[in-house]
C-alpha cells in the first residue's frame, strides 16, 4: 500500500480504466464485423433473388430496412407527367452507371389501389430529361429514407433539388399527398432515349471493423507497455532516492 500511496494509485486506476475502454471498443468492433458480414450476405441474397410482387399496403407498417431493404419488387404504377424532384449526387457506391455528379429523379407514382409510392426513376447528368407519363411495369428495389444531416440542408429554397432521399418530406413540401414509407429504386424498364437512366443495384458496404478492432487492441497493448516502462522508471527513481538518503 505504501507504493500506491506514493503517487501510483491514481495513474494505475486511470490506466486500468483506459485499457478497459480500449478493449471494450475493440470487442465492439468485432461484434460489428459479424453484424456487417451478415448484413452484406443478406443484401447480396436479396439482390440476387427474382423480383416479387409489390407488398400490399396493409403489410407496409411491418416492413423495415432490416427485413425488407434492397428486396427486388415488381409493380404497375401510373405517372402524371409532373411532380419530379431531383436529388443531387456526386457519385454512387451501389450503382456502376453513376460515375460523376448529377441527379436522381424522384417521381410520385400511383398504384392500382390509389396509394402512392415515390420512384427513383434513375440518373440524369443535368436537368434535361423527359417526364414520365402513363402506366408502366416497374422492376426495382425497396429503399428507405436517408436520415437528415444537421450540417447539410435537406433541399434548396424551392424544394426542387434535394440533398437527402426522403420521399415523405418531399411529398409534404410538394403537396403530393400521402406516400409509402419507402421508395422504389427503379432498375427497369429503361425509357426511350435512356434518361433518366435506371440500373440494378450492387450493394457494397465497407467492412473495416477488423482493422478498427486491431487498432483499439493495439492501443490498449501500447498503453500497458508504456505504463510498465513508466512504473519501472518510477521504481528506479524511488530506489535511488532511498539509497541516497541512507
Number of residues that make up the chain: 246
Alpha carbons within 13 angstroms on the beta-carbon side of residue 184 total: 31
Q: Residue 117: pLDDT above 70?
A: yes
The pTM score is: 0.71
Q: Residue 175: pLDDT above 60?
A: yes
- Split at pLDDT 50, 70, 90, the class of 6 is low
Q: Residue 195: pLDDT above 70?
A: yes
Domain extents for the chain?
46-188
Q: Residue 37: pLDDT above 80?
A: no
pLDDT tens per residue across span 57-66: 999 999 998 8
In angstroms, the CA 110 to CA 135 distance is: 9
Amino acid at each position: 500500500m505504501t507504493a500506491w500511496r506514493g503517487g501510483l494509485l491514481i495513474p494505475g486506476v486511470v490506466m486500468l480504466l483506459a485499457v478497459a475502454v480500449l478493449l471494450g471498443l475493440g470487442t465492439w468492433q468485432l461484434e460489428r464485423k459479424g453484424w456487417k458480414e451478415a448484413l452484406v450476405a443478406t443484401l447480396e441474397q436479396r439482390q440476387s433473388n427474382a423480383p416479387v410482387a409489390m407488398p400490399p399496403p396493409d403489410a407496409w407498417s411491418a416492413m423495415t430496412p432490416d427485413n425488407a431493404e434492397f428486396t427486388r419488387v415488381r409493380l404497375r404504377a401510373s405517372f402524371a407527367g409532373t411532380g419530379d424532384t431531383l436529388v443531387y449526387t456526386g457519385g454512387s457506391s451501389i450503382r456502376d452507371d453513376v460515375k460523376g455528379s448529377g441527379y436522381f429523379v424522384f417521381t410520385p407514382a400511383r398504384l392500382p389501389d390509389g396509394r402512392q409510392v415515390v420512384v427513383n426513376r434513375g440518373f440524369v447528368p443535368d436537368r434535361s430529361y423527359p417526364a414520365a407519363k402513363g402506366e408502366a411495369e416497374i422492376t426495382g428495389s425497396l429503399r428507405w429514407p436517408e436520415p437528415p444531416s444537421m450540417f447539410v440542408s435537406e433541399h434548396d429554397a424551392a424544394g426542387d433539388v434535394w440533398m437527402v432521399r426522403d420521399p415523405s418530406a418531399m411529398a409534404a413540401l410538394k403537396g403530393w399527398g400521402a406516400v409509402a414509407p419507402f421508395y422504389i429504386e427503379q432498375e427497369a424498364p429503361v425509357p426511350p432515349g435512356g434518361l433518366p437512366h435506371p440500373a440494378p443495384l450492387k450493394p457494397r458496404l465497407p467492412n473495416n471493423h477488423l482493422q478498427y478492432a486491431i487498432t483499439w487492441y493495439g492501443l490498449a497493448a501500447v498503453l500497458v507497455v508504456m505504463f510498465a516502462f513508466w512504473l519501472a522508471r518510477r521504481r528506479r527513481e524511488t530506489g535511488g532516492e532511498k539509497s541516497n538518503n541512507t
